[in-house]
């Protein structure tokens, strides 16, 4: 018996939830066109199109914040928070064609907002923005809201849609019933805020416009639904034991401890001007923190007219804290290169290709089950070749005089890199011997023909100060400043900088590795022990950094004495005894300087993305009620441990319950897929292919197709 009505509930209307709605609209419109063009022709139809008239859809959107931008992308947050992807990159939908739905951020920019009524500040930002510039997160949020509103308006008018309703609420539980699900709601935004790590007095959400965050007293206690899409994204996490202990003790002592959090949820006023503030983490959250603690307090960056690395001076407001910052690497993330694309156009991977890895997996890679490869054994050697090839080719182009005979060097380099990659030497049944000898041979070649250029130690990029001791705090500060200045100069040189282009190749390899993970070609043990353990931090620090401007600002702040770097492998303490009892301290064994003490400490990082550590009431309940479980991940010893994301199966990804059985109609998108995908916390790439950059849109599309199939 065919249904008359099918209820779909999308929980979470940030980018991923919005993508599902947009894909649903695109599929419904395509279906309708098909039916109008050939109502009775009985011809086979395109994948996902209507084979019979669907039930009318009733769509419920559960989101306590403004749908579209949701929690992370509030269009009312501080405009000092910048994206770390350029305007040309991110999208929530495929490019718009004709009068279809879809609209990339770059198209929206080109259309001057596509008819959205923009505030003057938004109009100004949009007008000033170029495709290679880095938008404020607030502006990207405005785009997300625009797409969401346009999609909902069109969905509501569609004849196959009965209703689209926004429930301004959080879901706190799902109950499985014989024919459908019951979704429990609360009109309270605590259920989604990531402020759990905060021990200091209550944080204020920056988005306080009426109706911006959700407290709606008319929300029902529960709603029924045939299908559920879980697109809950960045959810709160419990502190790890070390953080929790620091937080508890700090509270007892009247100190301020800010745990990991989304920067727009942090109460920056808790850090008083003039007082020392210890910061752990030199990644993207660190740059957000700097903006809030300096520019937002009236400080100013003034152009100096000097070259990259010294392009800005900082004029203090006097209200900045004294910032002492450190991370394990000892150095901040590197600036993005100034290039007109997400991957530098001149970068090409010739060794690491999808086809090569696929062929190897199909033939059986040594030491792996058939159909799988290992990252260290099979992927890294190819990517390493590409990184070195890129580095020395760019160096040869921009500074041939640094080579003894540049043409001969390049010819010999190619011969060495080409050796030992032939598939027949790498397949099962063939003993593996000497596969890595090429590295020493290339190093010898460089020693011999380009000693001035030197060997590029790629893994060492992840720890630029490793094993170097500094005899004073000043010596270390000076070393980091020089590092920042060189980094800025490299970024400004764009495609003419060998190191930045080598990092570009590393980044391109990361994107391909994401695809290989999503297509299950990488052995799971290798993925956990190799990709996530060493490759991820290396590539994050090198290729996921902020725009150049942020590094210029940091260098200016360091020169002005507002930011002091503490050293690699820092140790933070809050002890009850001894000389430093009752205060936070931070020191590094690589820098000969007394510990810095402070009453305030900030963890400049995001909450952990692990479903087993979640503080989201919904995700906790799903697990305690047996409706969901962490994905089991095999270890080297053949045991299994709980993985970071939910256990899911198939495409689209269906949630698997505690007994191992897949739900008929609960679908998972985004961060909670981190057990089967790698690098889930990034927008889709505008115009990217469904296999690569736009995989999140492919995931949303697969959910839309399946929902329409179920609705028949
Ligand atoms: C601070 C920050 C900066 C970033 N910058 C960039 C960038 O510059 N470029 C880039 O490509 N990527 C960036 N990202 C990555 C980001 O993960 C994605 O771009 C995107 O936000 C993921 O979308 P999502 O819908 O999966 O998750 P989210 O954006 O987190 O949206 C999920 C939504 O679900 C809602 N929700 C959660 N739980 C519930 C519940 N129980 N009931 C109802 N609703 C719920 C939340 O309120 C939220 O609105 C950034 C992420 C963060 C956190």
Share of the chain above pLDDT 90, in %: 82
User: Could you please report the per-residue DSSP string of 93-117?
Assistant: SPPP-TTSS--BHHHHHHTTTTT--
Q: What is the mean pLDDT of the chain?
A: 91
User: Could you please report the per-residue DSSP string of 29-81?
Assistant: HHHHHHHHH-TT------TTS-SSPPPEEEEEEE-SS-TTTTTTT-TTS-TTP
Which residues does 28 contact at the CB level (< 8 Å), separation at least 6? 57, 155, 158, 160, 161, 708
Nearest ligand 1 atom to alpha carbon 191: 41
pLDDT of residue 10: 98
| 137-157 helix and 15-37 helix, angle to the nearest 10 degrees | 30
First-to-last alpha carbon distance for the chain, in angstroms, is 9
Q: Which ranges of 312-405 would DSSP assign to H, the alpha helix?
A: 354-363, 380-398
pLDDT of residue 50: 47
Burial (CB < 10 A; 0-12, 13-18, 19+), residue 637, is exposed
**Token pair in block for residue 377:** 């054994």
pLDDT tens, 39-92? 655 454 454 454 566 789 999 999 999 999 999 999 999 999 999 999 999 999
pLDDT of residue 176: 96
- Omega before 652 cis (within 30°)? yes
Mutate to test the pocket of ligand 1, among 9, 11, 12, 507 (most ligand atoms within 8 A of CB): 12
CA-wise closest residue to 185 among 68, 70, 63, 65: 63
Instruction: Answer positive or negative: Cα dihedral of 641, 644, 645, 648.
Output: negative
The residue written with tokens 């060189």 in the block is 486
pLDDT tens, 282-331? 999 999 999 999 999 999 999 999 999 999 999 999 999 999 999 999 99
**190-214: average pLDDT:** 40
Residue 198 has pLDDT above 50, yes or no: no
Mutate to test the pocket of ligand 1, among 225, 232, 694 (most ligand atoms within 8 A of CB): 232
CA-wise closest residue to 368 among 356, 379, 353: 379
Can you tell me the distance from the alpha carbon of 365 to that of 84, in angstroms, rounded to the nearest whole number? 37
Cα angle, residue 680 at apex, residues 705 and 66 outer, rounded to 5° = 75
pLDDT of residue 200: 34
Can you tell me the distance from the alpha carbon of 506 to that of 380, in angstroms, rounded to the nearest whole number? 10
pLDDT tens, 354-379? 999 999 899 888 888 889 999 999 99
Q: Which residues line ligand 1 (CB under 6 A)?
A: 11-12, 14-17, 62-65, 70-72, 83-85, 90, 170-171, 191-192, 231-235, 262-263, 606, 616, 618, 670-671, 681-683
Nearest ligand 1 atom to alpha carbon 69: 49
Nearest ligand 1 atom to alpha carbon 288: 1
Task: Check if the beta carbon of residue 598 is closer than 8 Å to that of residue 277.
Answer: yes
Largest CA distance in the chain: 86
| 498-518 helix and 354-363 helix, angle to the nearest 10 degrees | 40
Are β-strands 563-565 and 322-326 bridged in parallel, bridged antiparallel, or unpaired?
Answer: parallel
pLDDT of residue 208: 32
CA-wise closest residue to 154 among 207, 200, 96, 199: 96
pLDDT of residue 609: 94
Residue 211 Cα, ligand 1 centroid: separation in angstroms? 19
Ranges 14-23, 264-273, 341-350, 359-368: which has the least confidence: 359-368
Nearest protein CA to atom 17 of ligand 1, as residue: 681
**Token pair in block for residue 90:** 């991110």
pLDDT tens, 205-222? 233 333 444 456 688 999
Nearest ligand 1 atom to alpha carbon 264: 1
Nearest protein CA to atom 49 of ligand 1, as residue: 70
Residue 423 has pLDDT above 70, yes or no: no
pLDDT of residue 636: 82
Mutate to test the pocket of ligand 1, among 16, 18, 72, 87 (most ligand atoms within 8 A of CB): 72
**Residue 372 three-state SS:** coil
C-alpha dist (Å) from residue 312 to 273, 307, 484: 22, 9, 13
Partners of 571 in the beta sheet? 587
Residue 18 Cα, ligand 1 centroid: separation in angstroms? 11
Partners of 276 in the beta sheet? 322
pLDDT tens, 631-681? 999 888 888 999 999 999 999 999 999 999 999 999 999 999 999 999 888
User: Could you please report the per-residue DSSP string of 416-479?
Assistant: HHHTT--GGGTSTTSPP-STTHHHHHHHHHHHHH-TTT----SGGGG-TTTT--BSSHHHHHHH
pLDDT of residue 426: 66
Which residues does 57 contact at the CB level (< 8 Å), separation at least 6? 5, 6, 7, 8, 24, 28, 160, 161, 162, 707, 711
**Token pair in block for residue 509:** 């390899």
């Amino acid at each position: 018996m065919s249904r008359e009505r099918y209820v779909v509930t999308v929980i979470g209307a940030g980018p991923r939830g919005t993508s599902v709605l947009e894909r649903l609209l695109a599929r419904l419109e395509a279906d309708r066109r098909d039916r109008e063009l050939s109502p009775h022709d009985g011809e086979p139809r395109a994948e996902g199109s209507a084979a019979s008239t669907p039930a009318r859809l009733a769509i419920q959107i559960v989101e306590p914040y403004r749908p579209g931008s949701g929690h992370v992308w509030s269009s009312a947050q501080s405009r000092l928070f910048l994206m770390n992807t350029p305007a040309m990159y991110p999208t929530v939908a495929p490019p718009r064609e004709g009068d279809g739905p879809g609209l990339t951020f770059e198209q929206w920019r080109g259309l001057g907002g596509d008819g959205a009524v923009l505030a003057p500040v938004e109009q100004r930002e949009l007008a000033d923005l170029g495709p290679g510039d880095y938008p404020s997160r607030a502006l990207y949020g405005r785009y997300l809201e625009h797409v969401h509103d346009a999609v909902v308006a069109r969905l509501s008018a569609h004849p196959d849609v009965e209703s689209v309703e926004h429930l301004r609420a959080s879901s706190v539980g799902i109950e499985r019933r014989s024919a459908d699900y019951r979704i429990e709601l609360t009109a309270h935004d605590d259920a989604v805020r990531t402020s759990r790590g905060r021990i200091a007095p209550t944080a204020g959400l920056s988005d306080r416009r009426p109706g911006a965050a959700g407290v709606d007293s008319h929300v029902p206690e529960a709603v029924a639904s045939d299908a559920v899409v879980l697109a809950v994204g960045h959810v709160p996490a419990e502190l790890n034991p070390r953080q929790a202990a620091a937080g508890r003790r700090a509270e007892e002592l009247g100190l301020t401890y800010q745990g990991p959090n989304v920067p727009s949820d942090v109460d920056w006023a808790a850090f008083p001007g003039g007082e020392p503030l210890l910061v752990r983490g030199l990644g993207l959250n660190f740059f957000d923190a700097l903006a809030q603690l300096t520019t937002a307090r009236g400080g100013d960056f003034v152009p100096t007219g000097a070259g990259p690395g010294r392009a800005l001076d900082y004029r203090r407001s006097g209200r900045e804290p004294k910032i002492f910052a450190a991370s394990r690497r000892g150095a901040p993330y590197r600036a993005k290169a100034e290039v007109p694309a997400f991957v530098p156009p001149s970068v090409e991977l010739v060794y690491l290709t999808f086809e090569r890895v696929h062929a190897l997996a199909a033939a059986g890679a040594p030491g792996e089950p058939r159909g799988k490869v290992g990252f260290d054994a099979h992927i890294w050697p190819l990517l390493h070749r590409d990184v070195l090839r890129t580095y020395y080719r760019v160096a040869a182009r921009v500074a041939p005089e640094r080579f003894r005979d540049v043409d001969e060097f390049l010819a010999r380099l190619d011969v060495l890199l080409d050796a030992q990659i032939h598939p027949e030497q790498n397949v099962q049944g063939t003993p593996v011997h000497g596969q890595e000898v090429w590295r020493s041979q290339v190093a010898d070649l460089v020693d011999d023909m380009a000693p001035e250029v030197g060997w590029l130690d790629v893994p060492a990029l992840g720890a630029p100060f490793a094993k170097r001791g500094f005899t004073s705090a000043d010596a270390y500060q000076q070393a980091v400043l020089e590092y920042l200045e060189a980094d800025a100069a490299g970024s400004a040189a764009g495609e003419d900088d060998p190191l930045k282009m080598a990092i570009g190749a590393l980044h391109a390899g990361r994107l391909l590795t994401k695809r290989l993970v999503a297509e299950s070609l990488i052995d799971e043990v290798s993925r956990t022990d190799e990709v996530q353990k060493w490759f991820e931090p290396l590539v994050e620090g090198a290729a996921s950094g902020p725009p150049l401007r942020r590094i210029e600002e940091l260098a200016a702040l360091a020169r002005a004495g507002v930011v002091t770097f503490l050293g690699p492998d820092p140790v933070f303490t809050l002890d009850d005894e001894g000389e430093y009892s009752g205060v936070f301290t931070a020191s590094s064994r690589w820098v000969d300087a007394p510990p810095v003490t402070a009453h305030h400490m900030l963890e400049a990082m995001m909450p952990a993305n692990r479903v087993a550590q979640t503080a989201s009431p919904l995700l906790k309940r799903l697990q305690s009620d047996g409706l969901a479980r962490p994905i089991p991940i095999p270890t080297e010893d053949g045991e299994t441990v709980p993985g970071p994301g939910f256990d899911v199966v198939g495409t689209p990804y269906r949630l698997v319950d505690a007994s191992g059985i897949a739900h008929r109609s609960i679908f998972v998108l985004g961060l909670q897929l981190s057990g089967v995908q790698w690098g889930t916390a990034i927008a889709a790439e505008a115009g990217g292919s469904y296999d690569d950059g736009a995989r999140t849109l492919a995931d949303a599309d697969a959910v839309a197709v399946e929902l329409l199939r179920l609705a028949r």
